[in-house]
Structure 1
Amino acid sequence: MILCESSLKSEKGLQKPLNQDYVLEFSCSQGHLWLVADGEGENLRGVQAARLLADTIRTFIEDNKIANVQDLLRKAIIRANEILQKKMLFAEGAMAFQQGNQFFIATFGKNKALLWSKTNLQEIQNTNPVLGQQAIIQPNITALQVQKNTQILLMSKGAFLGLSFDLIKNTLQSKQSIQEKVESLIKASLQSQNNENSSIALIYFPQESFLQALQRIWKPIQPFVVPVLFLATIATFVIVTQKSHRQEVEQVENDQIQFQKAREKKRRLEDSLAQVDKAKDVIIKHKVQKGETIGTIARKYNSTVEALISLNMLDDKANVAVGQEVKVNVKMIYTLPKAQTLESLYNERFKRWEKMGVTIEAIQKANKPKELKGLLPKGTQIIIPALNKK
């Protein structure tokens, strides 16, 4: 909504016994109204006409919720004119109505068409391109821009006739307060027209500073700031708490998974060690034949020279004589270098030992209770049973 200031004043002067002018300012749900009415007729009839015009327009606007403001004001004036005509009363005047950022201005009277301007302040300033920044909208309404600050002046017929445009311009451009400007214009009007009725409404739209704009925005939302901040704080706390709780739950679940993995790994290691220990217990004696060396014996039993030297406590030269008995650990643990079935492994590496008792059935028996079925994963450890060399 455009911020504005206003000042209204009506003086009867010394020429007439009664003031036949009437000024009105009021706010309602539809907007804000300023009105200057000038009654015509002898004494009391002029007073009644001005008051009746203003009261009828006000009542109509307050009682009717018409969305289109231009229609609302037009119908209000038509209604006022109808009532005045029935009572044989006559009045004319000027009116301004503000709704949000829009401004509506009009003049009205017994012999006048309803002249309207639905406009914003920039359009008011440019209404009359001949006058540039200053514009006389209708005989009773003057709009003037002074240093980016727009001023709308509503006048009764007496005030309008008693004031020159130069006087109006100089007064509005002065550094007086809005109330002082109205006083000056009323005084000048009374002096120029021999103290007859004179009424003025001045509406002032100052250029809004950043601080004023901030205050204008802040004022309507201020009552809601604390509750909103409170709710936002609670919502943030709830979200953070839920997130923290969810992270704790996920951490516990992850710890449980890691614990299960570690326990399973330990179990497999224990099983493997048990199988290795079991495999170490079976040792046979091999009688060295002519042409055999410790190396050929190791290869024959799928062992190593180092293992045979250690087992038989041989010297570094590892010399053996024909007929000498050499201890051989004929059980071994074979670790799968890749995923494969027992049948594939057997045909690939151990089938040549079939005549020495290394059969698929013997391997399966040596590895009980472990079952070697299907595709065995890489890293599976398999006990190869003792060779039965005859």
Structure 2
Amino acid sequence: MSGSATSRRALLAGALLTAAAVVTAGCGSPQEAATGGDAQAPLSVGIVYSKSGPLASYGQQYVEGFQAGLAYATGGTGKVGGRDVSVTYADDAGDPVKAVAAAKDLIGKGTKVLAGSTASGVALQVAPLAATNKVLFVSGPAAADAITGLNRYTFRSGRQSFQDVQTARKYLGAGRKVLVFAPDSAFGKSNVAAVKAVLGGAGATVSDIAVPATATDFTPFAGQIKAAAPDLVFVAWAGSTASAMWQALDQQGVLSSTTVVTGLDIRATWPAFGAAGAKLNLLAHYFDGATDNAAEQALAKAVPGGRTDLFHPDGFAAAQMIVHALEAGGGDVEKMITSLEGYSFESVKGKLTVRAGDHALLQPMFQAKLTGSGDAMTATSVATVSDADTAPPAAAMKG
């Protein structure tokens, strides 16, 4: 056979193989090519997060943290096992419908690792999709407790509401009457459920005020708090209406009449506390200065201005978890899952451990106080609450 004939047959065979790959795209072949079958192909990771929308600032911190964590975990190479880690970013704008559409698109293109959910409502929709398609999902800042144990394909790189409440429990003292003030949303409901489980389970009587997410006048709700006369008010709030809410609670005397505990949000929101800031007992997932270790130092060098913030650690930890999973599994999701269950590692917040049974992320939390005013407000640590003391109750794995 002549060399030209051999070349023509080789070209024809190549064309037929290419056509076959296109025809079988819906059967999983591109996934093998993208992340599993080809030892030289990039390892694909999809980040579906709030680039825009009400939680865009959270999403930005998460992505900055993720990029810093990816560099840290790969020694600056961006490679795992000699293969590039190819990251695709998609904006869900905080909308579960958009998030699911973006996740489906990424999965269809062969992505076997998803991460980044900023909002709880988004994570609760993406997680079942991950299980259906057998891809790894590492949820981000989304705090809903229901994410833990939702299915074996779902993990988390941030804290959950139970851990906030366990930290707040330290402030209750001998009090027994607790009121939860939260928006009527997945995030708010998760906090109410957590307070009832943790503080109610410890003997406290827990009630709640569910505020419409669209509310702008908080004076009537402040009046309801005063009328209830609780020993402790647990405020779970996020978003652009925080300033008006805190002003109303302060002006109506809520802050001076009872112990008010809330989570410390991102630095940009601190001025929204106004005069209320110094009167609050704060639980903190993280703030700049809460820790000082190798991971925190690497993060600080990488983020703009060198100032770390609330959700940078979530992105950083997600990258560490994903790199560990890819090192163990390459394109094999089952191996990725096994490698993460029980995985313990040093991150920005300190030692983090993935609980094997339900994929809760055990981690330290912080109690803090604010001093100063306006943009000059500073957070200082009052106490560190250990990962054992903040551990949520074990959840049964659902699928």
TM-score, length-scaled by structure 2: 0.25
Structure ID, larger Rg: 1
TM-score, length-scaled by structure 1: 0.26
Tell me which of the two structures has the higher relative contact order, counting C-alpha pairs closer than 8 angstroms and 6 or more residues apart.
Answer: 2
